[in-house]
Every structure is written in C-alpha cells, then in structure tokens.
Amino acid sequence: MAWGFEFKSDERMVDFFPEDEISQLKPPQGAVLIAIDNEYYTEPIESNRWKACLNLSFPDTEDKYQEEAFNETDAAKIIKFMLSFEPVPSYIAVSCLMGLSRSAAVVKFITKYIYPECYNSKFDREYRTYNKLVFKTLEKIWKRHK
C-alpha cells in the first residue's frame, strides 16, 4: 500500500507517488495534491479528499522544444498554488504517471525553495531520476519571483 508511514501531525511532509497509488492514499485533513498527467483533465482528480488540488498536463520530457513540454506558465501555476496556503499544508502529495520523474522534480523544488521544513522520505542526495527541465524551470521562475 502506498501509505507506508505513520503520519505525525507535528510533521510537514511532501511526497511523490505514481498515479495509480493516489486513489489508495488516505490524506490527513488539510492535505493538498498536485496531479500531473499527459492528458487534459475534465474534472479535478480526487478533489473531494483534498483541501485543494492542482491538475496539470505535460509530458515527461526534458526537451523544452517538444510540443506541450513543461514551461514557465506551468511553473508559475505550481508556485502560485503552493504559496496560496496559510498556514503551510501539513501534507503535500504530488503525482504523475510513474511517480518518479515529473512529480519528483516538483517535490525537489518544494523542499528546496518553498517549504524547506517539509520532510520527504524518498528524496536523498543520490536521487537522480527527477525531470531536470521541470526542476530548472521552476527554479528559474522562483528566482524571478523572489
């Protein structure tokens, strides 16, 4: 089961998951979700179980010239979404198809720049699978924002 840890209310956590595990999660009250897919969503995914949900659609590519690749508009949406909460959500979930690359890049960005106090059990210095285009674009927009 995806929920492989005991959530402690005094911790702030951010985690990434494959798309098929999101439906198994039992998020704590006030948790938020960023859901990434390759196809357009007609309705927000899992919105009834989350305080807020941001649905995005972009392919898992590091080629910024590929059609519909992650771009500055997508990055600005993520940053605006994450900064819209007061207080900081106790739990932030990010999902994409495989839960390895795009979602990991968003989590790396959130834990490095927006909420460094958030804990992530999967991310360490050796994790290299994250999508570099997603991370670098988020980083670029964040530096402009600051």
Residues 6+ apart with CB under 8 A from 116: none
How confident is the model at residue 47, as a pLDDT? 63
How confident is the model at residue 4, as a pLDDT? 43
Please say if the pLDDT value at position 102 is more than 60.
yes
State in words which class domain 13-139 has: alpha beta
Measuring CA to CA, how many Å separate 96 from each of 9, 21, 85, 117? 25, 10, 22, 23
How confident is the model at residue 121, as a pLDDT? 67
Q: What is the pLDDT of residues 33-56, one digit of tens each?
A: 999 987 655 445 556 788 899 999
Question: What does the DSSP 8-state code read for residue 47?
Answer: G
- What average pLDDT does the structure give for the chain? 84
Confidence label for 131 from pLDDT (cuts 50, 70 and 90): very high
- CA geometry: angle at 121 spanning 116 and 125, to 5°? 70
Q: What is the pLDDT of residues 53-76, one digit of tens each?
A: 999 999 999 999 999 999 999 999
How confident is the model at residue 50, as a pLDDT? 87
Kindly state the percentage of the chain with pLDDT values over 70.
83
Q: Please report, for the chain, the start and end positions of each structural domain, with discontinuous segments joined by +.
A: 13-139
